[in-house]
Structure 1
Amino acid sequence: MHKIKKDDLVVVIAGKDKDKQGKVISVDTKNDTVLVQGCNMVTKHTKPAAGSPQGGIVNKEAPMDISNVMLVVDGKATRVGFEVKDGKKVRVAKKTGKVID
């Protein structure tokens, strides 16, 4: 079970997009990377294909290491812990003790 999940609001804590907030688009658990909306943008040169007959230069998000993002709860960045409540393992914000999901 990972501390960051899809659709979480996170803040980038390292790199060129430091202090930017965004929603997690996807999490790659195998490589421990995340895609954050509007962060770590790269320009990709695409060839004309069936999906995009024009081709050209496309701006898109590149994966960043999961250690470079922090979960945002109630507008504040916080670390994440786990607790067992009612026989279920849930994520808990370390700063407030609030159950996240």
Structure 2
Amino acid sequence: MSTFKIKKGDTVKVIAGKDKDKEGKVISVNPKKGAVLVEGANMVTKHTKPSMANQQGGIVEKEAWLDVSNVMLVHEGKATRVGFKMEGDKKVRFAKATGKVID
């Protein structure tokens, strides 16, 4: 399995699906599913039973998983593809649009 180009905490832009052109922060990454959770994107409704944590129960809106191929990293306000390169003895991500190192 190859290394994921998107990490938790990155800002991404949704490029396909019902939430196309929305931007948000990555909440979680699941490499096995090849999916990411993006804040405020792909919202679904979930019916919940009353519990100790949620006394009322009812309908709750939450984020659903998006395939990683449907999001693009935003670097310096611009959506860009991501590449890897070696800087000394360290492997780093870089934005292909600008050529600058991301982290």
TM-score by length of 1: 0.98
Q: Which of 75, 79, 82 does residue 77 from structure 2 map onto?
A: 75
Shift of the alpha carbon at 1:50?
1.7
Work out the number of aligned pairs and report it.
101
Unmatched 5+ stretches in structure 2: none
TM-score by length of 2: 0.96
Distance 1:57 1:9 in 2: 28
For the pair 1:20 / 2:39, whether they are aligned, the reply is no
The list of structure 1 runs, each at least 4 consecutive aligned residues, that deviate by more than 6 angstroms after superposition, is: none
Q: Which of 28, 31, 37 does residue 29 from structure 1 map onto?
A: 31
Q: Partner of 1:52 in structure 2?
A: 54
